[in-house]
């Protein structure tokens, strides 16, 4: 959904209210409803306040230069406490005696740990303020008007419009499409100078324009060196009724070096680029919002601000939808295109900030799970393949949920070549392994397959130690290691021995059931990225989150590099135990879903036991429950209640003497209703497989049948009868009752 009135765009983020104001101002300017600013002269009090503020700036610069960092910090905080808006702050800085001197002081302060925060906040306010001013609709209109001025005025206007970027496109395009406007040539030059930031607005407008305007816009797109306009050009060129438009689109595609591909394939390729978050697909890196574009014949280009975390997904879904529409005209929709859309929709839901109302995904629209299951098991497996390749654990889990609801007996057998569902059994995240095994078992494959032998052991592993967590710490000194170890143990991690490099951890990692976290302390700006590459390049730790505790100067260099990476976090050494623990918890939660809780572990165990029981009842030969006999026997003595009975139910269906004996031994040590229920399951085993007990078990059962209470004695007697023991052994029971 795109809002038709610019003033109604929902932003959902208080951090960037100026975006809403500038779009609203654009709409008001078009309607002639924006009042002129007041020209009142400042009062004496205002002049005095301004002088005091300017003194603060002078003092801040002075103290930075003489390296009185404590006083500089105090003055910097006083400046921030003025609570100026970003644009007010820019005007304030520009009124200082020497703005360049202040900017130099900021750069110096950024190299001083105790001044970094103050300097960074002032620098950001200054840069954001300059952007807000450049993007103001009134400022854009003034600069477009100045394109008819003298050479210097035109040059300054062009520079300011280029600084405004995409935000200038609605007014630039309107001017360009106005016949006989003397600024058309200058405006075209500005759009060409905008390059990438002009491509998406023009591509969005192209299909909705009248033929004469389509020809003009196609020519401009041909002058831009960005191939992302080729899908729209190919689409319009194929569907246009005008020879001139078709020729203009073909000419533009040729200039851009376009391949001879269908518009549907080109849209899908572009959607893949957005899904992959390629750097060239984002116009405003580091900003909280990006822009989506549409075109209304009555109002021109319409910009819709969208939060950056869900921007790429929105664009990937948009292009996949157009691709599927074009494909459907040929009678079918490509499964890979559908998989792109489903994956992007899952990712949109995963990445949506809490409480954010996505302006292009209506609240009345069904959730991503609905479309994930509706697309079927084949598409779901294609999405799962993406998740595994990208080490995207949240997406893998969401997709496995869809696979589990749609996969049938033929799902694995019908997969040509690669089988992502089976690959997930070895994915370095236990939740993904568990959910894959449960999904495969529930699908009941009819024929064996490569990896079948791993399914039942993974199911059995959910019953014990599912909540265990293992962490590795790389530290150059014992004190740093011990401090990190203390916090990690407090969070429930089993911590591996100290290592000075990732290579030192080879043996402990090989022995651990999984590695849930890697912490690196004190690495340089060169060594930490190299470590991350090592961790992500090792099969067992490829999805393991990495926490780096670095020196302040290293933190400054690395913090922006990993901001968008859910699997890596950087913090400064010495942040304190509580802050460190909070950061670790946040990292684990966002990257892998956090530790498996006791409730989750019980749920996994219950689901695994249910599918294993079904396999045992069916005497499945593809997924043989007997492969889990040993771990099930071990779990029988560690569990109780319904879980123990469920395990006994499965063991009673395994034709192994140790399985039958384990159920009987559990019954003999149990009490009350549990003993009766376990004896009944042992009797079921005896009826199916015969007597596989040792003499000592029979002796104990005879004793129980002789001296136990009515319920236990009867259950023991039923088991003895099922075992078919000799009449001479039963005679004492008969004679005892005389």
Q: Which of 13-22, 435-444, 464-473 has the highest mean pLDDT?
A: 435-444
What is the structure's pLDDT at 275? 97
Mean pLDDT within 534-551: 90
664 pLDDT more than 50: yes
Q: Please state which of the ranges 3-7, 156-160, 243-247, 407-411 shows the lowest mean pLDDT.
A: 3-7
Condensed to tens digits (0 to 9), the pLDDT of residues 194-245 reads 999 999 999 999 999 999 999 999 999 999 989 999 999 999 999 999 999 9
Strands 517-521 and 493-495: unpaired
What is the structure's pLDDT at 42? 65
Q: Under a CB-based contact definition with an 8 Å cutoff, are residues 214 and 222 in contact?
A: no
Band (pLDDT 50/70/90 cuts) for residue 732 is low
Tell me how crowded residue 632 is: count the other CB atoms within 10 A of its CB. 26
Token pair of 255 as six digits: 């200039």
Closest CA to 495 of 472, 524, 461, 517: 472
33 pLDDT more than 60: no
Mean pLDDT within 668-682: 93
726 pLDDT more than 90: no
106 pLDDT more than 50: yes
DSSP string, 245-273: HHHHHHHHHHHTT--S--HHHHHHHHHHH
**Rounded to the nearest 5°, which phi and psi values hold at 110?**
-65, -20
Mean pLDDT within 255-264: 89
What is the three-class DSSP state of 182?
Answer: coil
What is the structure's pLDDT at 721? 87
Strands 300-307 and 289-296: antiparallel
Q: Give the distance from CA 220 to its chain's centroid.
A: 36
Q: What is the DSSP letter of 499?
A: B
Band (pLDDT 50/70/90 cuts) for residue 145 is very high
14 pLDDT more than 60: no
Closest CA to 263 of 237, 241, 288: 237
Q: Under a CB-based contact definition with an 8 Å cutoff, are residues 213 and 184 in contact?
A: no
Percent of the chain with pLDDT strictly greater than 70:
92
Percent of the chain with pLDDT strictly greater than 90:
65
Q: Give the distance from CA 339 to its chain's centroid.
A: 17
Distance in angstroms (rounded) separating the CA atoms of residues 493 and 479: 18
Quote the longest CA-to-CA distance of the chain. Answer: 125
Q: Give the distance from CA 15 to its chain's centroid.
A: 22
**Rounded to the nearest 5°, which phi and psi values hold at 521?**
-120, 130
- The region, left, alpha or beta by phi > 0 then psi within -120 to 50, assigned to residue 52 is alpha
Distance in angstroms (rounded) separating the CA atoms of residues 589 and 432: 15
Token pair of 388 as six digits: 């595994």
What is the three-class DSSP state of 111?
Answer: coil
Q: Give the distance from CA 272 to its chain's centroid.
A: 16
Distance in angstroms (rounded) separating the CA atoms of residues 112 and 101: 17
What is the structure's pLDDT at 542? 86
What is the structure's pLDDT at 372? 95
What is the structure's pLDDT at 258? 82
Mean pLDDT, all residues of the chain = 88
Q: By 3-state DSSP, what share of the chain in percent is helix, strand and coil, each rounded to 5?
A: 65, 5, 30
Strands 568-572 and 546-550: parallel
34 pLDDT more than 50: no
Q: Which H or E run contains 303?
A: strand 300-307
Mean pLDDT within 30-46: 52
Q: Please state which of the ranges 23-27, 359-363, 550-554, 587-591 shows the lowest mean pLDDT.
A: 23-27
Q: What is the DSSP letter of 631?
A: H
Distance in angstroms (rounded) separating the CA atoms of residues 647 and 635: 8
Distance in angstroms (rounded) separating the CA atoms of residues 471 and 514: 9
- Sequence-distant (≥ 6) Cβ neighbours of residue 374 within 8 angstroms: none
Distance in angstroms (rounded) separating the CA atoms of residues 429 and 541: 9
Mean pLDDT within 446-461: 89
Condensed to tens digits (0 to 9), the pLDDT of residues 623-656 reads 999 988 998 998 898 888 899 999 999 999 999 9
374 pLDDT more than 90: yes
Mean pLDDT within 83-88: 89
- Sequence-distant (≥ 6) Cβ neighbours of residue 460 within 8 angstroms: 608, 612, 628, 631, 632, 635
734 pLDDT more than 80: no
Band (pLDDT 50/70/90 cuts) for residue 296 is very high
Mean pLDDT within 178-189: 93
Band (pLDDT 50/70/90 cuts) for residue 183 is very high
Band (pLDDT 50/70/90 cuts) for residue 558 is confident
Closest CA to 206 of 175, 232, 241: 232
Mean pLDDT within 41-68: 85
Condensed to tens digits (0 to 9), the pLDDT of residues 399-422 reads 999 988 988 877 776 545 788 999
Using alpha carbons only, give the angle 210, 211, 217 rounded to the nearest 5 degrees. Answer: 90
What is the structure's pLDDT at 98? 84
What is the structure's pLDDT at 12? 35
Closest CA to 287 of 151, 387, 167: 167
Q: Please state which of the ranges 17-26, 229-238, 447-456 shows the lowest mean pLDDT.
A: 17-26
- Dihedral sign of CA atoms 583, 585, 587, 590 in order: negative
30 pLDDT more than 50: no
DSSP bridge partners of 570 = 548
**Rounded to the nearest 5°, which phi and psi values hold at 582?**
-65, -40
What is the three-class DSSP state of 339?
Answer: helix
Distance in angstroms (rounded) separating the CA atoms of residues 709 and 306: 71
Closest CA to 273 of 312, 330, 223: 312
What is the structure's pLDDT at 113? 86
Distance in angstroms (rounded) separating the CA atoms of residues 253 and 706: 93
9 pLDDT more than 80: no
What is the structure's pLDDT at 227? 95
Mean pLDDT within 347-352: 96
């Amino acid at each position: 959904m795109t809002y038709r009135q610019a003033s109604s765009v929902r932003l959902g983020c208080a951090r960037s209210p100026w975006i809403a104001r500038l779009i609203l101002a654009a709409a008001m300017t078009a309607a002639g409803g924006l009042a002129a600013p007041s020209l009142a002269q400042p009062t004496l009090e205002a002049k005095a306040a301004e002088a005091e503020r300017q003194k603060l700036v002078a003092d801040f610069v002075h103290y930075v230069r003489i390296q009185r960092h404590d006083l500089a910090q105090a003055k910097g905080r006083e400046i921030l406490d003025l609570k100026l808006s970003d644009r007010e702050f820019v005007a304030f800085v520009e009124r200082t005696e020497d703005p360049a001197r202040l900017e130099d002081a900021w750069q110096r302060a950024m190299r001083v740990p105790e001044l970094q925060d103050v300097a960074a906040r002032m620098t950001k306010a200054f840069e954001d303020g300059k952007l807000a001013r450049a993007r103001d609709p009134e400022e854009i209109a003034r600069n477009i008007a100045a394109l008819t001025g003298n050479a210097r005025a035109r040059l300054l206007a062009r520079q300011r419009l280029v600084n405004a970027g995409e935000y200038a496109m609605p007014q630039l395009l309107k001017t360009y499409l106005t016949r006989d406007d003397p600024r058309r040539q200058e405006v075209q030059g500005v759009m060409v100078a905008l390059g990438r930031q002009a491509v998406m607005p023009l591509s969005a407008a192209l299909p909705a324009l009248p033929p004469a305007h389509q020809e003009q816009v196609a020519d401009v797109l041909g002058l831009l060196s960005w191939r992302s306009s080729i899908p729209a050009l190919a689409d319009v060129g194929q569907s246009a009724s005008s020879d001139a438009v078709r020729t203009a689109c073909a000419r533009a595609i040729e200039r851009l070096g376009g391949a001879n591909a269908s518009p549907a394939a080109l849209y899908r390729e572009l959607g893949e680029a957005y899904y992959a978050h390629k750097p060239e697909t984002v116009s405003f890196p580091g900003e909280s919002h990006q822009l989506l574009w549409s075109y209304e014949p009555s109002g021109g280009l319409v910009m819709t601000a969208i939060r950056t975390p869900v921007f790429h997904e929105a664009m990937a879904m948009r292009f996949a939808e157009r691709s599927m529409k074009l494909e459907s005209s040929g009678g079918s929709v490509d499964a890979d295109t559908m998989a792109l859309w489903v994956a992007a929709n899952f990712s949109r839901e995963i990445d949506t900030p809490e409480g954010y109302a996505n302006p292009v995904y209506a609240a009345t629209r069904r959730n991503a799970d609905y479309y994930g299951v509706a697309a079927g098991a084949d598409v779901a497996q294609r999405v799962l393949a993406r998740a595994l390749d990208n080490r995207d654990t949240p997406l893998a889990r969401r997709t496995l949920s869809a696979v589990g609801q749609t996969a049938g007996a033929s799902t694995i057998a019908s997969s040509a070549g690669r089988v992502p569902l089976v690959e997930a059994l070895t994915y370095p995240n236990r939740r993904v392994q568990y959910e894959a095994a449960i999904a495969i078992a529930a699908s009941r494959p009819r024929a064996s397959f490569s990896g079948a032998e791993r399914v039942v052991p993974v199911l059995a592993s959910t019953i014990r130690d599912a909540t265990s967590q293992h962490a590795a710490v790389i530290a150059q000194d014992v004190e740093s290691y011990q401090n990190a170890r203390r916090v990690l143990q407090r969070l429930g991690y089993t911590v591996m021995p100290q290592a000075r490099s990732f290579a030192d951890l080879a043996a402990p990692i090989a022995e651990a059931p999984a590695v849930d976290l890697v912490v690196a302390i004190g690495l340089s700006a060169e060594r930490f990225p190299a470590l991350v590459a090592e961790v992500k390049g090792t099969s067992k730790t490829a999805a393991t989150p990495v926490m780096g505790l670095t020196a302040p100067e290293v933190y400054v260099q690395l913090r922006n590099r990993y901001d968008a990476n859910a699997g890596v976090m950087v913090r400064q050494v010495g942040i304190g135990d509580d802050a460190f623990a909070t950061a670790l918890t946040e990292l684990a939660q966002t990257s892998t879903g956090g530790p498996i809780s006791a409730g989750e572990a019980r749920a996994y165990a219950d689901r695994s036991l249910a599918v294993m029981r079904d396999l045992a009842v069916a005497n499945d030969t593809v997924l043989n429950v007997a492969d889990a006999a040993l771990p099930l026997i071990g779990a029988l003595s560690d569990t109780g209640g319904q879980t123990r009975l469920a395990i006994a139910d499965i063991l009673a269906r395994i034709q192994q003497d140790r399985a039958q004996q384990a159920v009987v031994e559990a019954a003999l040590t149990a009490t009350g209703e549990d003993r009766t229920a376990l004896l009944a399951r042992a009797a079921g085993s005896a009826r199916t497989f015969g007597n596989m007990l040792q003499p000592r078990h029979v002796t104990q059962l005879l004793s129980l049948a002789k001296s136990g209470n009515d319920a236990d004695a009867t259950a023991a007697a039923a088991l003895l009868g099922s075992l078919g023991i000799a009449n001479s052994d039963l005679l004492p029971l008969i004679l005892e009752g005389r």
